Amino acid sequence: MNTVWSKADTHVHTTHSDGHADAEEVLEHAVQNTDLRVIAITDHNTIEGALEARSLAEQYGIEVIVGEEVSAADGELLALFIEQRLPPGLPAAETIAAVHAQGGLCIAAHPYDRMVPSMGHRGLRKRGSEPDPEWPLDAIEVFNAGLLLSRGNRQAEATAALGLPALGGSDSHHPKTIGYGYTLFPGWGSAYLQAAIEFGQTYAAGRRWGAMRTAEVIGLIVQRELRNPTKWIEWSIPRHSRLSEWA
């Protein structure tokens, strides 16, 4: 019997943090323009967008994972399959333990991105490796479509080779980039994806945004943020741009 493989985008943002699209727009684009079966809404330090998207998901025919991109003290983490918000600023070990206490999974996000706080520059290879890691991560994001250059993804892939499952995500901040990065897993829905991560049966793939798409997305975000100065202070453009990758 042939195994059915599905795609999930495990890193998507909405207007509840620094995304350009609201939950409904994200779902509509994902359904109409991609072949994704599952998406994870992972706004920065909030799950409001994810909960909203999940409440709408059935009418769109796509599964939504409630997630959060947590600003831990040691770098940014993706928390998937959670029901309660994780507070920012805690050490990574405490954040991971809090995710696991909810029955969720914890993933190192873009671990070698130099523009935002990332765990790869804080000893991920040593602190996240077996047999008794300080950071008992469940997976590593080895393909992040938002990186202009592939170097950071290659470094993440090399680290994942130490024994952690590999995930791919778009890090989408605008609907046009949803699905650019994705995770392949055997099965159909989010429960299969969760099992695939736990058993190391995932593969990461996709294409990067590229310079032109990055510039377009950043321009749209800047236009929105300039209309909301308070939001601009909290989610300034250096947080989600990848311009340092040119260095």
Burial of 228 (0-12, 13-18, 19+ CB in 10 A): exposed
Task: Say yes or no to pLDDT of 244 above 70.
Answer: no
All domains of the chain in start order, with CATH: 5-246 (3.20.20.140)
Q: Closest Cα partner for 113 from 182, 178, 171, 174?
A: 171
pLDDT at 246: 27
Q: Which residue has the higher pLDDT, 225 or 233?
A: 225
Task: Say yes or no to pLDDT of 247 above 90.
Answer: no
pLDDT at 106: 98
Cross-sheet strand order for the sheet of 203-206: 166-169, 139-144, 105-108, 75-80, 63-72, 38-41, 5-12, 181-186, 203-206
pLDDT digits (tens, 9 = 90+) for 191-224: 999 999 999 999 999 998 776 566 666 666 666 6
pTM of the model: 0.87
Q: How confident is the model at residue 242 (pLDDT cuts 50, 70, 90)?
A: very low
Q: Which residue has the higher pLDDT, 138 or 148?
A: 138
Residue 16, C-beta contacts closer than 8 angstroms, at least 6 positions apart: 23, 43, 46, 48, 49, 52
For range 2-29, the mean pLDDT:
95
Cβ atoms of residues 13 and 173 within 8 Å: yes
Task: Say yes or no to pLDDT of 227 above 70.
Answer: no
Show the tokens assigned to 44. 């920065």
Task: Say yes or no to pLDDT of 189 above 80.
Answer: yes
For range 24-53, the mean pLDDT:
98
pLDDT digits (tens, 9 = 90+) for 92-140: 999 999 999 999 999 999 999 988 899 998 999 999 987 899 999 999 9
